[in-house]
Chain A
């Protein structure tokens, strides 16, 4: 199958402005967009730059805008997006080169919500018990791979880069609703700040973008509810 790739290119060492590179490649319909990008990189233009590792949607390296929607290039088959495939870096983070963006602002937001288990009570000799029901409450948000598809498709984040963003809220949710954790109140306080959860306008972009199919808007709503009902 013939595929035309339109890739937004930018190399700060050479280019003043981003430009569109067009590449015609012959691929199988069941190939991934990542395979097509690799074809270009390996056989047409070795300077094309992108992050990738696992190749099957679990490491979160290759978030990019594919035909205007945030996707992992390794999780989109060409047959679903061809014949013309437009690929751009995700929006709202500084571009380093081609499809590679600076993830540090995103990771800083992640770190800001205490994304780690807190329980200073002396642990029992065996595992802390947790019922399957208690475990199920936060199952969905444990799936996050920090790909940034959600945050970089959020209009509130585009409008204000300081907004903590859906990915960080997902991480906070994972711990707030873990029956074993003891720092929910602190996380809720962090999310109650001006650039916290209230900037979310419930537009659902994030949920549609999540390659792990996490029900992000629902998770955000649960955290908002927890905030309203906690006496902060």
Chain B
């Protein structure tokens, strides 16, 4: 008999840190939280008296709102730190910023930062648990958890599912965390994109298959996830034009013929419609893109609840 997973006081830097059983436990907890989000009065007093800080050094309105909504629904106090109006713009270091925030009695940090490893630094300087809301191109574990939750909710057991992720693999933190999480749950993941947008050694770093040809990648896929072309992270010419990219890698009715009929369509957003995915697919019945957003709140509520040791 396995013991109940312990989450209190732990950080979530990436899904590496959590076992398969712990991931499943989070998904189960998120299921309960999703039910709360469907009520007329969407609030429970679980984290009353706790303070959550959303420390967003990199802009992201959607993810920040998702974290803040999650904390609010659990009745935690929320303070929001945004770098565009912060002391960091005046030259203060992350270390000093965290010391200052810590002095105000923060219990949990949810951080978004362009530097890989910055959540670990916040944890080191604060001594408080940290949920990584995306660090550079490194990881985005809450996105991966909500992606996995969305698949689990629709298709059940992840084990053995064929999942294809298409797009800018090189610059995606989402794909890195998903590969870890989906791998732990036994999915067979294929990543696909042009060679210039594919990191080296993918197959040896992750348990995945690499394909440069979209048709081959999509063959018999149960789940198809498009990824945004992260133009802001591309400093050099890695592909000739969005038009050419789209011709070869867009998710369309035509290309999705190779996947399983009714394959689940996903995208972490924001989408470049017409570039990586056509509207006919993004808005189709197979798509769970909008549900992914809703599930994000539930998953983050579950994590906050478990990490801050909330009592049900």
A-B interaction? no
B residues at A contact (CB < 8 Å): none
